Each structure stands twice: as structure tokens, then as C-alpha cells.
Structure 1
Amino acid sequence: MSANTEYRPSHAGMGAPHLYPSELLPSLQALLATLADIDFEHESDVETIRNSSVDEWLKQKTMRKLQERHCERRMPYVAQLERVQKQIQALAA
């Protein structure tokens, strides 16, 4: 595995720089983009339900189902992201 790294500023913490191995960067970006798409779609669905004129009990039931679906859709991508993060940490050690 190559030790090539690219500088990517961190948005968390105190602005400490993070170095990501260039071979893992596309995977990391794709996973984050997919999670962002899933989150955006979920928020859009939630907003649609909130603004609907259906009874409150039905809104609440639908919101619970949406939340379950959202968690189920995210789960495999979060697991993949954790694996990539472990690879990055292993390379940094």
C-alpha cells in the first residue's frame, strides 16, 4: 500500500489537519456523499410529512417508520465508513 497522502483540513476539533491516504480518499468521499444523499432524502420526507394535512397520529406513525428506514439505509454505509477510518488509522500508526 502506498504511503502517499493528501492534505485535507478537518472541520471538527481545533482545525488540526488530517492526512488521508490517496487510495482511500475516493472511498471516503463516496461514502460521505452517499450518507449525505440518504440524510437529505430523509429530511425531505420528514418535511413533507410535517407539512401534510393528515391526522397527527398518522404523521407520528409515518415519522417513526421513516426514522427506522433511515437508520436501516445508513447502517451499511456507516459500517463501511468505520472500516475505512480504521484503515486510515492503521496507516497513520
Structure 2
Amino acid sequence: MEYRIESRDDGTARVIFNGDITFSENVAFRQLLKDLSEKNIEACVFDLSAVEMVDSAGLGMFLIAKEQADTGGWKLSVSGAQGHVASMLKLTKLSDLLEG
């Protein structure tokens, strides 16, 4: 998993992911959350259009991100999920929690 954070002047950020989001990426994901917490954002979109696979740990990481967003007072949503990733988000109802 690789990611790039694009910050905008309007207080929003977009995180563009590339690669799978799995248990082995939890250290990198926690770094991402740390990077986001240091920014003064009102909303963040996780762009999953280049992610082909997410496992149960990856789904758990999204929940941790949602909790951090709620605690930090910013809105988190996802966009671009397709195929396996979209199915997993829908199956677990995370798509409802992280509406884009």
C-alpha cells in the first residue's frame, strides 16, 4: 500500500491509495492517521479507486480512521471503491458508515 495526501485550501484532504490494504500495512496506515491528525482538516476522502484488495484488518483500519475522524471533528468518506473492495465495504456495511 502506498498513499499520497492532497490537501486543499478549503480544509479538505484526499488520500489516494495504491495497492492492497491488508494487515501487513497497519504500520503505514497508522502513520497516515498520524499525518492526517497533524493537519487542520474538516473533511477527508479516502480514494480507493486504485485498491484491488482489502482484508479484514484493512476494514478494521477504516473503522479506526472513522473513530479518529469523529474524535478529531472531521468527516471521513470513501470514494472510488470497485470490485472486491466495494463488495467488502457493502457486505460489512462500512459503505453506509463511510458514505462518499
State the TM-score, normalizing by the size of structure 2.
0.26
Q: Which has the larger radius of gyration?
A: 1
Which structure dedicates a bigger proportion of its chain to strand?
Answer: 2
State the TM-score, normalizing by the size of structure 1.
0.27
Which structure dedicates a bigger proportion of its chain to helix?
Answer: 1
